[in-house]
Structure 1
């Protein structure tokens, strides 16, 4: 990382986004020391909001391009584990920093990086030139990969995906690796590595937590649900589900892949959980004053009931951790498994 300095890839004005603190604007002209401190902190630096339609000084809106925190970049490249001479396809050029790191390790001619946003790609091209590198940069939809350079030894993905595009598997050599942030709809993401088997399949495991902006074609909205709620109650504390383990998160995401959720704590000890899918939604409200938890569900599915069943399945199997789960991708789709690819859970 010293050979490809991060400050060469950060614009003069950007938004520093620490994990556990409020974000803030960094401005190289107004505060050069503060700017440099932020750039060399273990923090994501946001370089675009709302696909470029919102000024970075606003600090509000959707984060749509960034320079990822150095520790997660290092973790992803460590999982990628390229050999000398390997050809790498990168999905999501962003600022160009990881493309520069890969080019320094393997040579400019062995790196192809695809970026969907023309303005982002133009800035990355300039950044890489300033750093002394010029890998192959392609303006295009990363979900389609880049067939002109296949097969690749490694695919390195810098944006989150829920469904792994099969084009990445098709364009990777047998025994090649695909490293990407798996960002399921339920809870946080997981840095994942798959090995391509050569028959149209890729199989691998989840390694650590992460949070990434989504691939543009997989961005999500919140659909509008209609109809009357069905009232019920439960003894299961919803806090147990969202706070138990990342293993539980993987189990739920694997068993109910279209389940979305968010939750909030109140100062008075109450806890609220909201669930939704394309055609159904649910609200779950815990209060320390009552033994039973209030549940409201509507639509053709009972989403809380599905979540409760998935979580209790995880408990009944011994509460396995994230390291025991894995993912298989085939031309027909993908599924999560426990301990062995033969033991599919979803």
Structure 2
């Protein structure tokens, strides 16, 4: 029977036995999974692998997506999969071999260095397929992709969306966002992610509460009444969601007590049911979010058809309308006071 489900295949980097009880325990964390078939299909559709393409599959996991890439390219020798976990790499190779497929399976960190099979005369790939959440795109992926080639990855700073980048002749890459998604972060970028699931939000809220007391350099709380309600920032349109995630660090969400919260893990904004706003920490997150919303509205409420992402050797950033201009500049007012987060608005 086929099911559009995520199947967890490893817990806590292999340190915890994979059992139903352990998988359900709040103290454990999945570290590898076979993704939703519909989401995998969407990523491969954006990747647009052609027969004869050389493909790099980052995050081999079970070997499933590497096998699909081998099928699409027509020759498993053209596919290289890189997996940082030796046990997972071995499992991927075994699974692929049982299917009669023998792509190159490399154990290593694809974010820092890439080993290319000797059969690759120029060391370049036509397609790079990434199966882990990314907050900062490793430039080595752009360097090792042929101009005109595509990189498809789950961009996750924190609200995840598939991102397809096309590499240009000048050594940059640019592209647009697609379907919303949620992937486990690249291991070298695994930081607390309070925005992916409601229980993570609540946990982060508790951590922020505990960490906000007793710090000598913590600014005092700032309290005011909201001029407008919270509705404009809750459940934002996809274009605004991308801008809030990249420029502010998250989007607001409703806690179990009915308060509306926005946090980056250090600063926090809380709106109680009476409409009173309290901001703590070094950043005024709600002010920043309102500023982004006003700028987004002035720009005609751009959607995903007008918003994209650019990577160069020096910087990477979300943009609106012009791939050469970071959103923090294009939005004007939104640039004032918004901190760079997750490498997305650098420059």
TM-score range, shorter chain: 0.7 to 0.9
Q: Cα deviations across residues 53-100 of structure 1 (Å, max 9, x unaligned)?
A: 223322232221000111111111111112221101111001100101
Tell me what 1:19 maps to: none
Instruction: Please give the alpha-carbon distance, in whole angstroms, between the structure 2 residues aligned to 1:54 and 1:311.
Output: 43
Tell me what 1:47 maps to: 9
TM-fit CA distance, 1:260: 4.0
Is 2:232 the partner of 1:240?
Answer: yes
Matched ranges for 1:119-198 at <5 A = 119-149=87-117, 150-185=123-158, 188-198=159-169
Instruction: Please give the alpha-carbon distance, in whole angstroms, between the structure 1 residues aligned to 2:234 and 2:182.
Output: 16
| Kept in 1: contact 2:233–2:251 (CA 8 A) | no
Which moved further from structure 2: 138-147 or 231-240?
231-240
Q: Give the SS at the match of 2:141.
A: helix
Q: Cα deviations across residues 116-140 of structure 1 (Å, max 9, x unaligned)?
A: 1111111111111111111000000
Tell me what 1:103 maps to: 70
Tell me what 1:282 maps to: 268
Which moved further from structure 2: 240-249 or 328-337?
240-249
Tell me what 1:215 maps to: 186
TM-score, normalised relative to structure 2: 0.80
Show structure 1 runs of 5+ residues with no match. 1-36
Q: Give the SS at the match of 1:214.
A: coil
TM-fit CA distance, 1:264: 2.8
Is 2:291 the partner of 1:309?
Answer: yes
TM-score, normalised relative to structure 1: 0.80
Question: Cα–Cα, structure 1 residues 72 and 199, in superposed 2: closer, same or farther, change >3 Å?
Answer: same
Tell me what 2:200 maps to: none
Tell me what 2:242 maps to: 250
Show structure 2 runs of 5+ residues with no match. 118-122, 193-203, 329-347
Instruction: Please give the alpha-carbon distance, in whole angstroms, between the structure 1 residues aligned to 2:99 and 2:259.
Output: 49
Instruction: Please give the alpha-carbon distance, in whole angstroms, between the structure 1 residues aligned to 2:235 and 2:284.
Output: 22
Instruction: Please give the alpha-carbon distance, in whole angstroms, between the structure 2 residues aligned to 1:215 and 1:174.
Output: 25
Cα RMSD for the two superposed structures: 1.9
Tell me what 1:202 maps to: 173
Q: How many residues align?
A: 296
| Kept in 1: contact 2:49–2:69 (CA 8 A) | no
| Kept in 2: contact 1:169–1:201 (CA 8 A) | yes
Instruction: Please give the alpha-carbon distance, in whole angstroms, between the structure 2 residues aligned to 1:249 and 1:112.
Output: 34
**Greater share of strand:** 1
TM-fit CA distance, 1:283: 2.8
Match for 1:91 among 58, 66, 75? 58
Q: Give the SS at the match of 2:319.
A: strand
Instruction: Please give the alpha-carbon distance, in whole angstroms, between the structure 2 residues aligned to 1:52 and 1:233.
Output: 48
